[in-house]
Amino acid sequence: MATRVTAGQKRARRKDALYGLAFLGPQLVGLIVFLVGPLIFAFVLAFVNWDGFNPMTSAGLDNFRFVFTDPQIARSALNTLWFTILQVPSVMIFGFLIGFFLQRVGRIKSFYRVLFFAPQVTSSVAVAAIWLWLFNPDISPVNSILARVGIVPPDWLQDPKTVILAFAIVSVWQGVGYQIVMFMAGLENVPRSLYEAADIDGAGEWQKMRKITIPLLSPTILFLTITSIIGSFQIFDYIYVFLGDTAPAASRTIVYEIVQIAFREFSYGRASAVAVCLFLALLAVTGLQLLAQKRWVHYTE
């Protein structure tokens, strides 16, 4: 028999709903103003010609034709993809290995965790300024060390073969602390009883890592993979600090192109078309990762 809802209960529910909306209101307004609104505006701009001053004129699909036919956009897309290939696996592998071994250092692991996390909360501009000195071919201590061991030091930021690698090195150095903290949190949630049972069965360290640690860390790995790929596709600040607004073609990325097209060429329609394509590409990659999780991600109860 269904329970009858009294008038007092209805008033209480409405009151709770109003309180909930009151608390969520500021966040919802911020979400609409700073996220949903600009996103919709970017989609609108992608189909018009606008320099920010004169009236908008319809462009149809011309802006998207530019995106898919301009050779510099294609070069920047490949640079971005190459940066992602270098940065994402490296930062995740280093983050996992360092976090795995830090779990075994005892009480001082909190100190090391803070030490590794410090670059993550440091301004990217400050980090890039430090590495700009480290990559300077004339005074670089990195190049001095390489020269002493018999390796010809490259001109990191001017050589097309090493400039994207240089960006990846800086990004890994700054971002590995976040990965360490996340992996350590995931490792702490792995039941110790599983390791004890594996020890009783005579499993070695590699077997425990392959059969217990990594499968139970798969939700953390999925989350970090998604966020790392999204972050890698948005690299801009290192390039701007290292090379300014006249970066050579070999060092430009998609977000750098968006900024250049919008704020140097004042072609907001074309810039928005590039941004929309980037958004859709990231949406597709994230969707494929979420679909593939059923095959390899294991959730504990």
Does residue 200 surpass a pLDDT of 80?
yes
Q: Residue 156: pLDDT above 70?
A: yes
Q: Where in the chain is the domain with CATH 1.10.3720.10?
A: 70-296
pLDDT band (50, 70, 90) for residue 2: low
C-alpha closest to that of 86 among 153, 166, 156: 166
**pLDDT over threshold 60, residue 136:** yes
pLDDT of residue 145: 86
Q: Which residue has the tokens 């301004």?
A: 123
The pLDDT value recorded for residue 5 is 67
Q: What is the pLDDT of residue 86?
A: 96
**CA distance linking residue 18 with residue 181, whole number of Å:** 38
Which CATH number is associated with domain 70-296? Answer: 1.10.3720.10
Given a contact cutoff of 8 angstroms between Cβ atoms, the answer to whether 184 and 114 are in contact is no
- Split at pLDDT 50, 70, 90, the class of 146 is confident
End-to-end Cα separation, the chain, in angstroms: 34
Q: Is the pLDDT of residue 87 over 90?
A: yes
**pLDDT band at residue 201 using 50, 70 and 90 as cut-offs:** confident
DSSP state of 140: -
**What is residue 58's three-state secondary structure?**
strand
